[in-house]
Amino acid sequence: MRAVGRTAEQAAAVYRASKDFEAAGAFALEMEVVPGEVAAAITERVSALTISLGSGTGCDAVYLFSADLLGENRGHIPRHAKVYRQFAAERDGLQRERVSAYREFTDDVSASAYPARQHDVSIEPAKLDAFLAGID
């Protein structure tokens, strides 16, 4: 992910693109990793809603991917991201538990331990007899 609009020429290109999208009918524009001052100046000059992702507070709204917010990423964390919790280890633990549960399920099915009688739906013998008589 690279910042755009860090030179006068790049900033002008982002502005022109924003106006082009607006002219094409866009109701919202994402300002992704644009200098905050540039994003704010564009926000003042377009009627479309602007949404900042790493582009400062001068847009109409600010968002952050939940994976960044929850600390689920591994490796590179974008400069514009702020981690509020560390869920990566939790997610890893949950994944291990998921794999274990599916393994236990397939083992039970292979060993005919599941489904057991208590997991079945029953039918009264007389109703079963009536059903069987009706289909024979």
Note the pTM of the prediction, 2 decimals: 0.69
- What are the residue numbers of the active site? 32
Q: Where are the domains of the chain?
A: 1-63, 64-112
Q: Is the pLDDT of residue 105 over 90?
A: yes
* Nearest-angstrom CA–CA distance, 94 and 115: 25
Which residues fall within 8 angstroms of residue 13, CB to CB, at 6 or more apart? 4, 5
Mean pLDDT of 11-35: 98
Structural contact between residues 35 and 11, judged by C-beta atoms closer than 8 angstroms: yes
C-beta atoms surrounding 43 within 10 Å: 21
Res 74: pLDDT = 82
**What pLDDT score was predicted for residue 75?**
83
Q: 7: pLDDT confidence band, cut at 50, 70 and 90?
A: very high
**Residue 73 confidence (pLDDT):** 85
